[in-house]
Structure 1
């Protein structure tokens, strides 16, 4: 049979469950992909001449799921071309290193994604290894050299209805507009972390770029807030429906205006301490929530409970997003209470729409599902980072479905930088969801009709609803 993917891939071996899962999956298999949160570079789709130079660029250098695991086994990132400019490494040698160690991905979600990418996109029929590495490289390169494998061609092939990128307020959104004019719906997402976290080494530089983008001098916290509001308007005009925020702690509470201005003045002088910086960030997040609830209606995503760039040596040498973001415990219940007391009750107007993501699985059933099962504006984001896996998805559905219900989840988002993995990630979510629902049909918890309805919601409609997307063409 070779290295292939069967029709019943990931389904239960029990015949009745397997057959039901296959029926449910086939009912959503052709639905368009909704990608409301991710990190694919917009330049791939804005430039009609953009190409993937070689297999190493496509499948290794942009995918920190891939290179973090290899790094954990002592393989230097330099050997994979990670963090190096083109011309400073040998793509074929990097590919050979990847194939030589491909067995490390056995049984992992990354291994499953790669299997789907290689077999479905490129017709690969053998598992990569040291012996076939060069032949596979040449096979994939030959495909990448054709018009059918440009980023724009793959966008259409994948059936992407809408793809959201993640962008700083100071970023140029003209590439998004260019892609949209050419028929590719790529929308920005407003992520102001770099301007709210004043102890970041690049904070002053980012502030300067925001000043340039808004043609104003920012000398106060009020000035920063006005500049951010101006950029939020620009992002929304370019199709944005959401903001995104990632911080170490669930601390979102307001200060007085005077306190905020005093702390911002300390930040400008470079004399603010870590506790004060955390207070200022908590206040700034509260203000961003206020803008979402009362001004522009942008959905607010929170990716919390992560120590970013845990490996300081790697961060100082190569920068951010090197696969070294490590989870830690947070208190969602107490941390979100000030925010939800201010904007969570519909009697105060339209409630703030929050999409919550965690890397602490213990909080799904204990805190997050009860919160989403009560507050009208709260939705639970899909399993993220380490838990975007077969077992992680199953644990998530088990933990939240009874207390929050699937209707209070945000469906699926792929949250990827690796463009070629988009359909693979959605397929695994849909297959695991189909199998999970099929088990409940066989136990009598759901009727088949109910399972079909929930399957469509999980595969497509919940993401559209949670992110308040207006689709150009209904699938």
Structure 2
């Protein structure tokens, strides 16, 4: 299924350049600075239970496509802790595998099926049981335990994404063990900084219980957040992450911020004030990052839980999040006016609004010392999305104001596949620059190395 020249240019001369560049980076380690895998997998180091738990249930790319074609989530047993009939779910998935033609999901799945399980025949209803049996049998072997896969994938570091209320017990257990894998947490404060997050007030109360601070006062609240950030740092964290609806930032005076917080925590703030509060908290998080050195990531622009019925039944992260237009130039001005020239701050911007690459994001990152551009994310984590990013951002921001690639996945087995796609697209783009005589090949080789490991290590301080 996997052609060695996949994703390389069709032109033979340019393809030959891409092959040479790829050969120099294909075996470099994977640096995964942002994702949603579980530290507990590596603490317990138990076999993944079945193919469905591995490939279907954790991957919203998979089940949202099936749902879009009328397959009920109940039929896929989504949301269940224990799958009652995993083989039936797998047959449903296999019989609809054709739906993924032309998608990055198909690339990732084929890569995993072939490289890990030796399955070279395209998945279909006819071979669904054979696939299931082979995968299930191999999952029971020591070679496919989480720690063994981490080492087999040549992962240098893997970052999880964690609530500020998380005890990080699994991270502690890993650090206390004799295993040498590097799994680090990432501070994701949304549950305690977004007033529209479920159980916000209870979360803020729990934050106070964890830190011994009075989190129903503005000063106590800020001290508690700083305390949890320091705790995450002690367990290896190098970054924070913020999944706000917009990129809006605010820089209110201390008195105004305290007054707004009081209204928010009492539940008396107007709807518009909730967005102002989130914007103020992005600036507060930037201030803390200047102080403690944690790299800051902003992932804005997703209308979360668009399908109200699914949200009511299943909760968050059911594949019903939809991109929306996002403003960065004016939205980030308050934060950048205060911290944009700070060299001790690294702020990585992501977008789901591709129209902003050349108009807003590349010019901003091409000027402010603190700003870097994150790679194509979510809906644009695809060959075409990666090409568009390089084409629209490079002329203004260059390569060195970007941060390489991150996989941002819950599906552990897709990590090497995703990084391989990114490496192939990057060398294809560089090969075209060489063929057009805009770069020498030795320069392209240096850039390819930086895009693969150098820039991500530097940006995330890993």
Normalising by structure 1, report the TM-score. Answer: 0.95
- Deviation per residue, 1:220-251 (Å, 9 max, x gap): 12211111100000011111111101111221
- The residue that corresponds to 1:309 in the other structure is 305
Cα distance per residue 1:42-96 (max 9 Å; x no partner): 1111223x22000000001001111111111111112112111205x31111100
CA contact (8 A) 1:42 1:186 kept: yes
CA distance in 2, matches of 1:47, 1:214: 28
Distance 1:24 1:411 in 2: 16
Of stretches 20-29 and 204-213 in structure 1, the one that deviates more from structure 2 is 204-213
Of 44, 49, 53, the match for 1:47: 44
| 2:362–2:393 CA contact under 8 A, matched in 1 | yes
Is 1:38 aligned to residue 38 of structure 2? no
- 1:403 partnered with 2:396: yes
Query: Does residue 110 of structure 2 align to residue 112 of structure 1?
Result: no
What SS class does the counterpart of residue 37 from structure 2 fall into? Answer: coil
Comparing 192-201 with 395-404, greater Cα deviation is found at: 192-201
Provide the rounded CA distance (Å) in 2 between the counterparts of 1:261 and 1:395.
Answer: 43
SS across alignment from 2:299: strand
Give the corresponding residue for 2:455: 462
* 1:156 and 2:151 are equivalent in the alignment: yes
| Alpha-carbon contact 1:343-1:351 (below 8 Å) kept | no
| Structure 1 gap segments, 5+ residues each | 470-475
Contact 1:344 1:351 in 2 (8 A): no
2: CA distance between counterparts of 1:416 and 1:162? 14
TM-score, normalised on structure 2? 0.97
Query: Which is worse superposed, 251-260 or 407-416?
Result: 251-260
1:24 aligns with 2:17: no
Shift of 1:6: 2.0
CA distance in 2, matches of 1:76, 1:177: 39
Matched, 1:144 2:139: yes
Could you list the per-position Cα deviations for residues 283-306 of structure 1 after superposition, in whole angstroms to 9, with x for gaps in the alignment? 12111110111x101111011111
Root-mean-square deviation (CA, aligned residues, Å) is 1.2
**CA drift at 1:258:** 2.4
Q: Does 1:326 align with 2:319?
A: no
1:23 aligns to what SS in structure 2? helix
Q: Is 1:66 equivalent to 2:34 in the alignment? A: no
2: CA distance between counterparts of 1:221 and 1:86? 42
Say whether 1:196 aligns with 2:193: yes
Alpha-carbon separation, structure 2, partners of 1:223 and 1:310 = 34
Q: Within 1, Cα distance between the matches of 2:99 and 2:78?
A: 18
Q: Paired residue for 1:135, among 107, 124, 130?
A: 130
Provide the rounded CA distance (Å) in 2 between the counterparts of 1:64 and 1:290. Answer: 34
Q: How many residues align?
A: 460
1:343 aligns with 2:336: no
Answer with 216-225 or 164-173: which moved more.
216-225
Aligned-pair CA distance for 1:276: 1.5
* Equivalent residue runs for 1:67-106 within 5 Å: 67-87=63-83, 89-106=84-101
Helix, strand or coil at the partner of 2:425 = helix
Aligned residues of 1:356 and 1:379 also touching (Cα < 8 A): yes
Q: Distance in 2 between matches of 1:274 and 1:79?
A: 37
Q: Deviations over 1:366-390 (max 9, x none)?
A: 0000011111111100000011101
Question: Partner of 2:99: helix, strand, or coil?
Answer: helix
Alignment of 1:173-252 (within 5 A): 173-181=168-176, 182-252=179-249
For 1:289, which of 286, 297, 306 is the aligned residue?
Answer: 286
Report the CA distance between 1:155 and its aligned residue: 0.5
| Contact 2:190–2:197, Cα closer than 8 Å, also in 1 | no
Aligned residue number for residue 363 of structure 1: 356
Distance 1:28 1:159 in 2: 13
1:383-402 equivalences under 5 Å are 383-402=376-395
Residue number among 266, 283, 308 corresponding to 2:263 in the alignment: 266
> How far apart are residue 266 of structure 1 and its match?
2.4
What is the aligned partner in structure 2 of residue 473 from structure 1?
none
Do 1:199 and 1:274's aligned partners in 2 also have CA atoms closer than 8 Å? no
Structure 1 position 351, deviation (Å): 4.4
Task: Report the Cα distance in structure 1 between the residues aligned to 2:7 and 2:133, rounded to whole angstroms.
Answer: 30
Distance in 1, Cα, partners of 2:60 & 2:324: 20
Decide whether the 8 Å contact of 1:31 with 1:460 is kept in 2: yes
